[in-house]
Amino acid sequence: MKKIPLAEGVKLKSILTKKIQELISEIHLVAHAIVEKGEKPNPSGRSLAEVEAELAQVRKDSRTLDKLIYRANIDNTITFKDEELPIVEAIELASQLRADASLYKDLGKSEKERLYHSTGDSVIFYQVAMYEPSDFRNRANELEKEAHRLSNLINAKNYQVEIEFDDSKYF
């Protein structure tokens, strides 16, 4: 069986998902014909059975590819901050780092103290940050850098790891 880089498998998964949607649309097109009463429809392309058969094969290939990608993402590891992580965990950690960086950027945009608009009272209120916004801006930058470093490691690993899949039908 042919071997392809895991990175190519991930791209191919996206292509197969799009192909499945295209085939479903094609099924809707070939499933019906408008004809005058008493007339027989003229097929204008592939038959419904042909499109269904191709859809079934692409879906099977998609499931196979999923299984191979999942297995590779569990069986292969990345070293990040002196810790061995399966690729799947590294992917999730990168997502979490980006989410934290986004949260910290939002907190870092806050002012330390600002006038709080109140309704009708003669008392003046202030909204006061219970933290240092600049600290959160700095933390956000560091987390973003970590996420980029981790993503680079994941991408590099995805080109090192190979899975057994024949992609010749699609490339």
Report yes or no on 10 lying in a domain: yes
Report yes or no on 98 lying in a domain: yes
Dist. CA 163–CA 171, nearest whole Å: 16
Task: At 3, list the tokens.
Answer: 């071997």
**Total domains in the fold of the chain:** 1
Report yes or no on 169 lying in a domain: no
Dist. CA 70–CA 64, nearest whole Å: 10
Please, where are the H alpha helices in the chain? 6-30, 48-75, 87-108, 133-160
What is the phi-psi region of residue 120: left when phi exceeds 0, alpha when psi lies from -120 to 50, beta otherwise? left
Report yes or no on 97 lying in a domain: yes
Q: What is the pLDDT along the chain (171 residues), one digit of tens a residue?
A: 899 999 999 999 999 999 999 999 999 999 998 899 999 998 878 999 999 999 999 999 999 999 999 999 999 999 999 999 999 999 999 999 999 999 999 999 999 999 887 776 678 888 999 999 999 999 999 999 999 999 999 999 999 999 999 999 998
Range of the domain at 133: 3-33+43-164
Q: Which pTM value belongs to this model?
A: 0.84
